[in-house]
A and B are shown apart, each in its own frame.
Chain A
């Protein structure tokens, strides 16, 4: 009985910590400006739309990235999937939640664009280092 309670409490807390962690990752990138290259490629300038996420992720997978960068992109990807799941399940019951969910999806897309910017800069650094050698 006690183990079942601990298991249930742990799972609920795990979900809450995970969502908050992803929100903190997204919030940390919200103030970073996008380069003009990424703005042109993705069509995102100041605010992103949830629909842009998949497109930006496709670009992101084409660029090499650091290990810690891959971890955070994967976490936000899972958070985006959770939002889609939540959107489909509760937006019909609570219509007010759909605008919040869409805002969150947009922030995830902006995060992905910032990550793309970072990866392009990393690729350029790698290329420059190779040219020097």
Chain B
């Protein structure tokens, strides 16, 4: 059973996701960051869907669990493509977008195959567990890809403030989620203690993106030396 605080964080997160889309439309960046906006739109749709399912059932119901895990798997895939679109932004001047897209599809296919291989050996409810396993593995792949992207940003001395902040907030989001998933796997009894963190992490990402869209323009630049956390 969700309490008023849970509903508040849920609605706040959804409002912030709507805010990201509105901010990017207002700053005429919707098309440029289409996949990030698509992820936000899908997140809002998933939230509305979950709320509607929850109105007729309960948190423990099979219907809600199915809807939650399948929508989560879809959202993770959408976020994965959002992340790949950031690679395209970074490498747009090098003209390697075709290879980036090909690599992304291969990696997604590999992750899906690995997730299927894991659940097919140990589970009876293959389809449901596949959705959960795929989400979890994609979060970790997303974290590694974000870290690689960050390394490329430093290596190429990227100075676009908006791109840098979007990537870094995505890195915080992925690593916080991966840590939460991992600690739940390490000790399932800890899940109830860390589960309240997930919606808060979920609010932090749209908040940071809304800030990046509204406060920074595409032309805002950073000094590259200010990004590396070591004295130079």
Contacts and interface: CB of A to CB of B under 8 A. Distances in A.
Interface of A: 3-4, 6-7, 9-11, 13-14, 16-21, 23-28, 30, 67-69, 71-72, 96-97, 99-100, 103
Contacts of A26: 226
A50 B165 CA distance: 24
B150 interface: yes
Contact of A14 (B172, B215, B216): B172
Given A10-B175, A10-B179, A27-B222, A20 B140 contact: no
A14 B186 CA distance: 18
Interface of B: 140, 143, 146-147, 150, 161, 164-165, 168-169, 171-172, 175-176, 178-179, 181-183, 185-186, 204, 207-208, 210-211, 214-216, 220, 222-223, 226-227, 229, 231
A13 B139 CA distance: 13
B220 to A, nearest CB: 7
B176 to A, nearest CB: 6
B229 A7 contact: no
Q: Interface residues of A: mostly helix, strand, loop or mixed?
A: helix
B210 A4 contact: no
A113 B80 CA distance: 37
Contacts of B208: 21, 71
B29 to A, nearest CB: 15
A111 to B, nearest CB: 11
Name the residue among A6, A16, A67, A96 with the largest chain B CB count within 10 angstroms. A6
A71 B211 contact: yes
B179 A14 contact: yes
B213 to A, nearest CB: 9
Nearest to A20: B168
Contacts of B140: 6
B223 A68 contact: no
A24 B168 contact: yes
Given A20-B150, A24-B161, A24-B164, A7 B210 contact: no
Given A16-B171, A21-B168, 15 more contacts: A3-B186, A7-B179, A7-B183, A13-B171, A14-B176, A17-B146, A19-B229, A21-B208, A24-B161, A24-B227, A28-B215, A30-B223, A68-B207, A68-B210, A71-B207
